[in-house]
């Protein structure tokens, strides 16, 4: 006969078996379940091991960009994977066609269209590109020179600087910290907003005179840091990159994949980017802010010239890329499987390795949740998205939901991340077996926003992890 001290844990373990059986096929195949007691006096606990998956995850802030050239007429799914970030570049004359009249309605419409496609928006404001700086500004006595495809203004002119700051401030006030914005490109200087004078053929001397002096370059960079606080920023390597990175920005490359598009003796991949990354401040930028690449030409150009696609993609992972702008141009069919595999490694990728909790608890009591996570991607997330838990009945009624204390932005790849949370059960909850779900929510903690690299995702993007028995 069993004595009373032996009955209690055995009864609890029997209850656990019943709970697991009651949870049915929804958990079968997705989890390994191990019930155990840490000591003779401790309450019984269960440890579950979700099943990792290798699928491409189309998560916000990582993956392929939906370039504005293909936004209205995207390539087919057979030609180009699904995109997650809509990347646009707009001239100042588009964004402020009349003095003080900002085209917020235009930008808001693009945001709505992007959201309908499951995308967040990234953008760059340009002061030189075709229409470039608005006519009303140039008519205030701003010097300029005609260049290939646009007008190159005098960036050092005090009036130009004054209105330049107003532009950045206005759009920062409107969109800084918005959950609809993935990142902003610090790009309102030089040809195409790329901090260079590449469009100044034949007028190099005049462009050099008008290009912002170093103190003005710092000033312009600082405006972005000030007015877009709370929004991830990236800067091209031709600008004041080290300064921007030291203040929390990431970086972008505008000619990723170039192994000889401009000649046999020089290319971006070997001669432009590696020297920049020798600076440890820039090399570590990915830990705090995104790395975003734009392909040089399109992938078909790489294919036609016999570039090594495996080498190119390996460099992207080595440099911790989160977003690749492949210009919405069809990917050579021979390379599609490689690109899909690349997308399973790019950016962040969270795997819940295990979760341990008590098998049974009571209304009003604390439930302790201990979990181990791993980021198997190459970068962290760069937004304040919360990890959350909930308890749910078999009829899908949510009886409680809690936010974790985990800070996901600190989940760098290459390490295990342990999370310990204590959540309090509602007093009025009825006795019964409840599903324990997890999810990563959007910035406002309104709904699940991020897919995990584990099986079992429900249509509402929550993941059933375990079950909890509640009784008085």
Q: What pLDDT was estimated at residue 68?
A: 86
Q: Which of 68-72, 236-240, 356-360, 429-433 has the lowest mean pLDDT?
A: 68-72
Instruction: List, in order, residues 6 or more apart from 450 with CB less than 8 Å away.
Output: 59, 60, 350, 381, 385, 439, 440
> Among residues of the chain, what percentage have pLDDT more than 70?
90
Given pLDDT bands bounded at 50, 70 and 90, which one contains residue 22? very low
Decide the pairing of beta strands 120-126 and 181-186.
parallel
309-336 pLDDT, tens digit per residue, is 999 999 999 999 999 999 999 999 999 9
Given a cut of 50, whether residue 40 has pLDDT beyond it is no
Given a cut of 50, whether residue 10 has pLDDT beyond it is no
**Average of per-residue pLDDT across 217-244:** 95
Q: What pLDDT was estimated at residue 25?
A: 37
Q: Within 10 A of 212 (CB to CB), how many other CB atoms are there?
A: 22
Give the integer Cα–Cα distance in Å for 252 and 65: 13
Work out the angle between the directed axes of helices 309-318 and 336-343 (0-180°, nearest 10): 10
Give the integer Cα–Cα distance in Å for 328 and 299: 10
Give the integer Cα–Cα distance in Å for 446 and 465: 20
Given a cut of 90, whether residue 35 has pLDDT beyond it is no
Q: What is the pTM assigned to this prediction? A: 0.89
**Average of per-residue pLDDT across 31-44:** 58
Given a cut of 80, whether residue 5 has pLDDT beyond it is no
**Average of per-residue pLDDT across 161-185:** 97
Quick one: tokens of 46?
């269960």
More confident residue, 23 or 70: 70
What are the respective helix, strand and coil percentages of the chain, to the nearest 5? 30, 30, 40
More confident residue, 180 or 41: 180
Given pLDDT bands bounded at 50, 70 and 90, which one contains residue 467? very high
Q: What pLDDT was estimated at residue 336?
A: 96
Given a cut of 70, whether residue 21 has pLDDT beyond it is no
Given a cut of 70, whether residue 38 has pLDDT beyond it is no
Given pLDDT bands bounded at 50, 70 and 90, which one contains residue 15? very low
Given a cut of 90, whether residue 3 has pLDDT beyond it is no
Give the integer Cα–Cα distance in Å for 291 and 311: 18
Contact call for residues 114 and 72 (beta carbons, < 8 A):
no
More confident residue, 18 or 47: 47
Given a cut of 60, whether residue 436 has pLDDT beyond it is yes
Give the integer Cα–Cα distance in Å for 447 and 16: 30
Q: What pLDDT was estimated at residue 444?
A: 86
Contact call for residues 168 and 125 (beta carbons, < 8 A):
yes
How far is the first Cα of the chain from the last one, in angstroms, to the nearest whole number?
27
Work out the angle between the directed axes of helices 158-175 and 214-227 (0-180°, nearest 10): 20
Given pLDDT bands bounded at 50, 70 and 90, which one contains residue 290? very high
Three-state DSSP state, 445: coil
Q: What pLDDT was estimated at residue 71?
A: 85
CA–CA distance from 434 to each of 353, 376, 440 (Å)? 21, 30, 20
> Which residues are registered as beta bridge partners of 418?
372
- Residue 144: how many CA atoms within 13 Å on its side-chain side? 24
**Average of per-residue pLDDT across 345-363:** 97
Mean pLDDT of the chain: 91
Q: What domains does the chain contain, in order, with CATH numbers?
A: 4-55+349-470 (2.60.40.10), 63-343 (3.20.20.80)
**Average of per-residue pLDDT across 31-60:** 78
**Average of per-residue pLDDT across 215-232:** 97
Q: Where are the strands (E) in 257-315, listed by range?
A: 291-295
110-164 pLDDT, tens digit per residue, is 999 999 999 999 999 998 766 688 999 999 999 999 998 789 999 999 999 999 9
CA–CA distance from 431 to each of 39, 193, 434, 438, 470 (Å)? 26, 62, 9, 21, 5
């Amino acid at each position: 006969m069993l004595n009373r001290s032996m009955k209690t844990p055995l009864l609890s373990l029997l209850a656990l078996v019943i709970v697991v059986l009651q949870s049915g096929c929804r958990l079968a195949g997705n989890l390994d379940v191990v019930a155990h007691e840490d000591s003779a006096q401790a309450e019984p606990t269960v440890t579950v091991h979700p099943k990792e998956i290798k699928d491409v995850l189309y998560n916000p802030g990582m993956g392929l960009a939906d370039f504005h050239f293909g936004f209205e007429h995207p390539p087919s799914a057979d030609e180009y994977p699904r995109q997650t970030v809509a990347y646009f570049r707009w001239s100042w004359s588009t964004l402020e066609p009349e003095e003080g009249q900002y085209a917020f309605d235009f930008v808001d419409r693009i945001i709505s269209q992007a959201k309908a496609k499951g995308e967040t928006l990234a953008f760059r404001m340009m002061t030189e590109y075709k229409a470039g700086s608005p006519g009303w500004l140039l008519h205030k006595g701003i010097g300029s020179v005609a260049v290939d495809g646009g007008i190159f203004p005098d960036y050092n002119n005090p009036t130009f600087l004054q209105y330049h700051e107003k532009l950045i401030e206005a759009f920062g006030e409107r969109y800084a910290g918005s959950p609809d914005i993935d990142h902003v490109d610090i790009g309102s200087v030089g040809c195409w907003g790329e901090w260079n004078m590449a469009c100044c053929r034949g007028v190099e001397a005049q462009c050099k005179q008008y290009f912002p002096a170093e103190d003005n370059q710092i000033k312009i960079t600082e405006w972005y840091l000030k007015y877009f606080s709370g929004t991830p920023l990236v800067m091209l390597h031709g600008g004041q990159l080290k300064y921007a990175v030291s203040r929390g920005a990431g970086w972008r490359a505008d000619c990723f994949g170039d192994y000889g598009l401009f000649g046999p003796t020089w290319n971006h991949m070997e001669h432009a980017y590696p020297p920049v990354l020798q600076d440890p401040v820039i090399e570590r930028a990915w830990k705090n802010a995104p790395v975003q690449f734009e392909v040089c030409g399109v992938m078909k150009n790489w294919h036609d010239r016999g570039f090594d696609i495996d080498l190119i993609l390996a460099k992207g992972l080595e440099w911790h890329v989160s977003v690749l702008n492949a210009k919405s141009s069809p990917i050579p069919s021979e390379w599609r499987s490689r690109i899909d595999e690349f997308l399973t490694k790019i950016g962040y990728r969270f795997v819940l390795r295990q979760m341990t909790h008590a098998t049974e608890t009571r209304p009003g009591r604390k439930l302790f949740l201990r979990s181990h996570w791993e980021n198997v991607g190459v970068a962290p997330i760069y937004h304040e998205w919360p990890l959350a838990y909930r308890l749910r009945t078999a009829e899908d009624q949510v009886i409680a939901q809690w936010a974790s204390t985990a800070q996901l932005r600190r989940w760098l790849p290459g390490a295990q991340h342990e999370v310990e949370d204590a959540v309090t059960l509602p007093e009025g909850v009825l006795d019964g077996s409840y599903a324990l779900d997890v999810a990563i929510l959007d910035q406002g903690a309104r709904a699940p926003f991020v897919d995990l690299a584990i099986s079992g995702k429900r249509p509402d993007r929550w993941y059933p992890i375990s079950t909890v028995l509640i009784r008085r």
